[in-house]
Amino acid sequence: SFQESSYIEDSPNKNGVISLIFSLKEEVGALAKVLRTFEEKGINLTHIESRPSRLNKDEYEFFINLEGKNVPALDKIIKSLRSDIGATVHELSRTKKKDTVPWFPRSIQELDRFANQILSYGAELDADHPGFKDPLYRARRKEFADIAYNYRHGQPIPRVTYTEEEKKTWGTVFRELKTLYPTHACYEHNHVFPLLEKYCGYREDNIPQLEDISNFLQSCTGFRLRPVAGLLSSRDFLAGLAFRVFHSTQYIRHASKPMYTPEPDICHELLGHVPLFADPSFAQFSQEIGLASLGAPDDFIEKLATVYWFTVEFGLCKEGDALKAYGAGLLSSFGELQYCLSSKPEIQPLVLEKTSLQKYPVTEFQPVYYVAESFKDAKDKLRKFAETIPRPFSVRYNPYTQRIEVLDNAKQLKNLADTINSKELQICYLEFLK
C-alpha cells in the first residue's frame, strides 16, 4: 500500500553498526577528546578513518563505525560534539524500523501522489472569503482547481485565458508593487524582474502563464512550477522544494479587494516567489529546506515550516547598511512591504534555533522579522540546523535522475564520493586552463 512503501532500505543495516562523519579543527588533542567521550559513554568504535577536510583547510574529517547498542548515550555524544566541541556531525546510518520514517517521495513523478491533497480553499471557499458569495468567482475557481487536479508531472501546464476583470485586478497589484521594488526589494529580485518582463510576459495588462515561467526558471536554476488547487500540508509542500518544484496557484484574488487575499494567489506566486527562484543561491537555499524535511518527524516539520515562513515568505536581508525584503509575502503585499522596513516591527538576526520556535500571525502584519546576512549564510545555517533532525539517514538530490538518494550504507557513500571526486577533477582542470 501507499504507506507500507513509505521507506525502502536499499541495503538493510543488519549488524546494528552506526556510521558517522564529523569534522574537527586541526589542534593538539582534539581527536583524543572525542574518543575519550565515546569511551566514557561505553560506545565501542569498530573502524575509524581520517583525511584533511575538502571544505575547510583548517579541519580534518573523520569517518567512524561504531556499535549501535547504546542509542541514548550515542544521541548525547552527538549533541555534545556539536555544542561543546563545535564539531560538524553527519549521521549516515542507523538500524531502522520502517514504520518510524514518514513517507516521502523518492522520484519527481511521485509528487503526483499528494498534489491534490489540499487542506483548504481550492474550489471551496470559507464564509469570510471575499469571493464566497460570488457564484461566478466560485465557478471560476472550480475551473482552476480542475486544471490542477488533472495535471501530471511532465505535461505542459495548461494555458489560461484570463478575463478582463482578472487582468485588471492583476494590473492594480502589479502597478502598485512595481513602484516599491527599486527601494524595498533585494538586489536579486530587482535583477531578475526585468528578465521576467522581457521573456515571460510580465506586464500590467497581462497575467503571465505558468508554463512560460516554469521553462524560464528551469533554464536559470532548474526550478519548475506545478499547478496546485490550494494549500498543501507543510510536509507535502516542502517535499516539492527538495525536487526544485514549486507548487503554484493559477487563480487570482477577488476583484472587490485587489490589495487583499486570505490565501496565496497568482499575484503572490508570480510577483513574490518567482523572481527569487531564478537566483542560484536562493534556489539552493529553498531546496535545502525541502531536503531537510524528507523523512523528518512531525515536530521538525513544524520547525522547518516556521523557518520557511520567516525566510522564504517574510525574510529580510542585509545589503550594505540597509535592509531589503526578499520574502514573497512581503514582495507581494503593498502594505506590508512598506511596513516591514519601517521602525514599527521588531527586527532580529536569523538564528534558526530561535526562529524555528517563533509564533506568528497569518492574517495580519508580522510583529517580528528575521534578517539574513546573505543567502549563503542562511543556507549554511540551515545545513547545520538540519543536522539536528533525528532521522536515520542523509539524503541528496540527483538532478540527472530527478530522484532522492537515501545515504545509509557504504555503497551509496562510495557512489557519492566518486561523484564529488569527479566534480573536483573538473574544477581542477578548469583552474589549470586559466
How do residues 215-252 score in pLDDT, each as one tens digit?
A: 999 999 999 999 999 889 999 999 999 999 999 999 99
Q: What is the mean pLDDT of residues 395-418?
A: 78
Q: What is the mean pLDDT of residues 261-287?
A: 96
Q: What percent of the chain has pLDDT over 90?
A: 59
Distance from C-alpha of 292 to C-alpha of 152, rounded to nearest angstrom = 25
268 is in an annotated binding site: yes
Catalytic residue annotation: 268, 273, 313, 332
Find residue 22's DSSP bridge partners. 62, 89
Domains of the chain, earliest start first: 1-96 (3.30.70.260), 108-382 (1.10.800.10)
CB 116 within 8 A of CB 148: yes
Look over the chain and give the mean of its residue pLDDT values, rounded to a whole number: 85
pLDDT single digits (tens) 145-172: 999 999 999 999 999 999 999 999 999 9
Q: What is the pLDDT of residue 363?
A: 85
Residue carrying C-alpha cell 546510518: 93
191 is in an annotated binding site: no
Q: What is the pLDDT of residue 420?
A: 56
Distance from C-alpha of 194 to C-alpha of 188, rounded to nearest angstrom = 11
273 is in an annotated binding site: yes
Instruction: State the distance between the two ends of the chain, measured CA to CA, in whole angstroms.
Output: 55
* pTM, rounded to two decimals: 0.75
Q: How far from the centroid of its chain's Cα atoms is residue 62's Cα? A: 29
Distance from C-alpha of 214 to C-alpha of 212, rounded to nearest angstrom = 6
Helix, strand, or coil here: 174?
helix
